[in-house]
């Protein structure tokens, strides 16, 4: 299936996007999607990607260096950019103006994502419409895994922030529990209770993992339990409630 940028424009309301590049680049084919994770992201671009960024990765760059990186990305044939204003990026408006000018000059689409929204619905949509199911799942796993690792080691990451990010990725309620099963953090409105049940068993999701999964039937939910060691060597259980 061929996916054009025009379709993202048509779905602006669904994905909370705003087109900033006039009508430029709408005929570009979307061949993938990536989050800009390093300053020299141009080294990892094949062409046709939609790139996602908040400019955080460019904070240590001069304006001149930043403009060079953006031009290099455009020269590699990216199909568009989606920018999110996180509210605390130095020289954000200057960088946005440069990006907008270069996109219009080179006929590359530029969208803005409303600040309170996340990338994940957009990532899922593009991958599902560009790749077959197996490849889409593999690529989605790679994007989310890389982004989550970067987020966890960021100085502002907290248990609550981490599970809220996970919730936007997998769209199921998530909680963290201490070893004594008291609740550390949860995406439920109130702290949730948790018990290990007699039907608990080892579970393999049929992909290579660093962690062992457990699964139990908790009535209206299947609960997936991932024991991890959190910051400070604290044993933690992450519990995902999957609605049946």
Non-local CB neighbours of 197 within 8 Å, separated by 6+ positions: 216, 217, 218
| End-to-end Cα distance, the chain | 31
Tokens describing residue 101: 């000018």
Using DSSP bridges, classify how beta strands 29-30 and 213-217 pair: parallel, antiparallel or unpaired.
unpaired
pLDDT for 236: 86
Tokens describing residue 119: 């990338």
The domain spans of the chain are 3-136, 158-243
Q: What one-character-per-residue DSSP string does the chain give?
A: --EEHHHHHHTHHHHTEEE-STTTTTTPEE-EEEE--STTGGGG--SSEEEEE-SGGGTTS-HHHHHHHHHHHHHTT--EEEEE--S--TTHHHHHHHHHHHHHHHT-EEEEE-TT--SHHHHHHHHHHHS-HHHHHHHHHHHHHHHHHHHHTSTT--HHHHHHHHHHHH-S-EEEEETT--EEEESSSSPPP----TT-EEE--SS--SS-EEEEE-SSEEEEEEEEEETTTEEEEEEEEEE-
Q: Please give the CATH architecture assigned to the domain spanning 158-243.
A: 2-Layer Sandwich (3.30)
Listed as ranges, residues in the chain with pLDDT below 70 are: 115-117, 134, 136-157, 168-171, 205-212, 230-232
pLDDT for 234: 81
pTM of the predicted structure, to 2 decimals: 0.67
Fold of 3-136: 3.40.1390
pLDDT for 75: 97
The answer to whether the beta carbons of residues 32 and 139 sit under 8 Å apart is yes
Distance CA 128, CA 118 (A): 17
pLDDT for 231: 58
């Amino acid at each position: 299936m061929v996916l054009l940028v025009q379709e993202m424009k048509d779905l602006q309301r669904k994905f909370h996007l705003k087109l900033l590049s006039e009508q430029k680049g709408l005929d570009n084919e979307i061949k993938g999607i990536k989050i800009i994770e390093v300053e020299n992201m141009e080294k990892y671009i094949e062409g046709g990607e939609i790139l996602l960024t908040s400019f955080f990765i460019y904070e240590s760059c001069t304006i001149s260096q930043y403009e060079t990186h953006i031009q290099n990305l455009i020269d590699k044939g990216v199909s568009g950019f989606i920018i999110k204003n996180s509210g605390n990026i130095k020289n954000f408006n200057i960088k946005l103006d440069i990006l907008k000018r270069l996109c219009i000059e080179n006929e590359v689409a530029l969208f803005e994502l409303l600040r309170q929204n996340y990338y994940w619905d957009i990532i899922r949509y593009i991958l599902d419409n560009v790749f077959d199911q197996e490849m889409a799942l593999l690529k989605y796993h790679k994007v989310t895994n890389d982004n989550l690792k970067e987020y966890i080691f960021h100085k502002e990451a907290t248990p609550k922030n981490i599970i809220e990010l996970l919730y936007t990725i997998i769209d199921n309620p998530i909680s963290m529990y201490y070893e004594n099963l008291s609740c550390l953090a949860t995406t439920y409105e109130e702290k949730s209770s948790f018990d290990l049940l007699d039907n608990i068993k080892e579970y393999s999701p049929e992909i290579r993992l660093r962690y062992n999964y457990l699964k139990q039937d908790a009535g209206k939910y299947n609960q997936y339990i991932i024991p991890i060691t959190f910051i400070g060597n604290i044993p933690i259980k992450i519990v995902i409630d999957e609605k049946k």
